[in-house]
Amino acid sequence: MFCSSCGTDLPEGTAFCTGCGRKQAAVAPAPSPAAAPNPNYAPEQPPVYGQPYAPQPQYVSVERAPSNGCATAGMVLGIVGLPFFWLFAIPSIIGLILSIVGLARSGRHSSRPGLGLAIAGLVMSGIAILLFVLMYASCAGYSSPYWYL
């Protein structure tokens, strides 16, 4: 059985068309294969899904602020050298040098990247070196293995 309005193939005895929703008249006989096609029959269109496409976000490249690696390394070595000043002074000396280089590099840029890091590294490395020198200078007079006697 076919719908008389849209031509949709329907099961026998259906009261309403599943394609267009129109009420079906009495059961119509199935057309013979030699019969001419229904002039009201329109081929089924592919379904349209959802809403139109949403606009895609536009990606903008963000320029990173210049960084100062020497200032960062100087501060890290200053932090490492400060608690271990009594053991060795090499990280503090390298941190002092890198902090000075970082301070010089930050003065060249208008935004002064790493200025605070360089100053913090300079202060911490300087304190660690000063403590190292004071500790070993105070122990220099006690070179005898029997200094406590």
Which pLDDT band, with edges at 50, 70 and 90, does 64 fall under?
A: confident
- 124 pLDDT more than 90: yes
| In a domain? residue 60 | no
Region 20-47: mean pLDDT is 64
Determine the structural domain holding residue 36 and report its residue range.
Answer: 1-43
91 and 127: one domain?
yes
31 and 73: one domain?
no
pLDDT tens digit string along 67-111?
888 899 999 999 998 888 878 888 899 999 999 999 888 877 667
| In a domain? residue 16 | yes
| In a domain? residue 149 | no
92 and 32: one domain?
no
Its pTM stands at 0.51
| In a domain? residue 144 | no
| In a domain? residue 143 | no
Q: How many domains does the chain have?
A: 2
Which of 58, 63, 96 lies closest to 79, judged by CA? 96
Which of 90, 39, 94 lies closest to 70, judged by CA? 94
CA separation for the pair 115, 112 (Å, rounded): 6
Distances (CA, A) of 113 to 56, 70, 71, 116, 136: 35, 11, 9, 8, 36
| In a domain? residue 48 | no
39 and 75: one domain?
no
Q: In the structure encoding, which two tokens stand for residue 96, read together?
A: 């002092």
CA separation for the pair 58, 112 (Å, rounded): 31
